[in-house]
Amino acid sequence: MAPERTRRDHAQSGNRDPFPVSYGIDLQLFSPGACPVDRRQFVLGSIAAVAAAPLASIARASISGADNKVPVPFSWDMKVPIGNREEFVDWAVKNRGEDPKFLAQRWNRMYAMTQNKDLTDERNKRAFLLTPREDFCRPVNRPHAYESAFLDIGWGVTISGPHAVGRMTQVLNVQTGEKVLEIGTGSGYQSAFLSHLTDKCYSIEIIKPLAERTRSVYDELIADGYTEFKAITTKQADGYYGWEENGPFDKIVVTCGIDHIPPPLLKQLKPNGVMVIPVGPPGAQRVLKVIKHQAADGSITVSRSDIFNKIVPFVPFTKLVDGEIKGAHNGDAKDTK
């Protein structure tokens, strides 16, 4: 059996650092009735709205003093026992060196998501089971990592609930080798999930210190043996304009709400490509699956379907103005600079 691992706090533990003034958010952008909101959930009237908090760092100290690495690195043909919790926990302890407590919780959540039809195929179930959500949560929230809840990660931002991430990823139907763009890196969990489905993940985060912190989480995990996270390329920018130099993309996933489909993102989506994006008025978005169709004459049309069949409030798709986060992109349909 692989040595047991422990984890230290990411960056620094203790008091939170003040929210950088240059990345302040206009809280009036948020609809008072829009609750719960996903990922970029700013908690009004609480320190979470104005403070940053450390994430977990990942140090795998072993009882025996052996090398602190994942025993068996990820591979595309890795056989993960999905159908039985005890078999999965035993396999993952031996092959991934992870904590059996979290492994059991992870399998239980996967089973619940399967029953709820958030995960419907073996590839996405496998990807969920291989992604250590606890490593993308703050230490205080790690016991709740596999609850169906949004958890604070600092700067007033949350890690999305597993059911939301699971269904949005499942609908993308990512295939190995496809190029995927994520708008809103946040905790890093979504792209970590995606890296078990393809080796070409690109992710943009608008909040600079959050982008830097999440990049450091990926880098520590890579050093610790999660080599699949080498697939993730990140940058800090306004995601409205996409990442043209690395496009076009087979799939795009957006984790903030807007009242239209950003033209630059649609342009960077390949013909027959799929985008999952919350679209609608503030606080009343519906998460849409958007398919881009290109006719023989080059004309473009899109088809849309509601993946939850209900309103799922997301906070606004904020924008950068002269390097500062100011306002949102609602109403910017013609803004394609």
Return the amino acid letter for 246: N
pTM for the structure as a whole = 0.83
Cβ atoms of residues 246 and 233 within 8 Å: yes
51 - beta bridge partners?
18
Active site residues: 160
Angstrom distance (rounded) from CA 328 to CA 37: 16
- How far is Cα 302 from Cα 294, in angstroms, rounded to an integer? 9
Which amino acid would we find at residue 83? G
333 pLDDT tier (thresholds 50, 70, 90): low
Mean pLDDT for the stretch of residues 142-168: 91
If we measure between CA atoms, which residue out of 33, 116, 78 comes closest to residue 227? 78
Q: How would you classify residue 102: left for phi > 0, otherwise alpha for psi between -120 and 50, otherwise beta?
A: alpha
Q: What is the mean pLDDT of residues 66-85?
A: 89
DSSP single-letter state for residue 98: -
**CA dist., res. 245 & res. 282, Å (int):** 31
pLDDT in the model for residue 69: 82
* Confidence (pLDDT) at 244: 98
- Residue 292: pLDDT band (50, 70, 90) is very high
Half-sphere exposure of 71 (CA within 13 A, CB side): 15
Please tell me the predicted confidence (pLDDT) of residue 79.
97
Domain ranges of the chain: 17-328
- The pLDDT, as a whole number, for residue 330 is 87
Task: Please choose, from the candidates 280, 312, 301, 291, the residue with its C-alpha nearest in 3D space to the C-alpha of residue 167.
Answer: 312
Q: How far apart are CA 159 and CA 141, in angstroms?
A: 11
Q: What's the average model confidence in pLDDT over 93-97?
A: 96
Q: How confident is the model at residue 268 (pLDDT cuts 50, 70, 90)?
A: very high
For CA atoms 68, 74, 79, 83, give the dihedral sign.
Answer: positive
Those residues with Cβ within 8 angstroms of residue 102's Cβ, 6 or more apart along the chain or in another chain: 132, 134, 142, 145, 146
Amino acid in position 197? L
17-328 maps to CATH 3.40.50.150:
yes
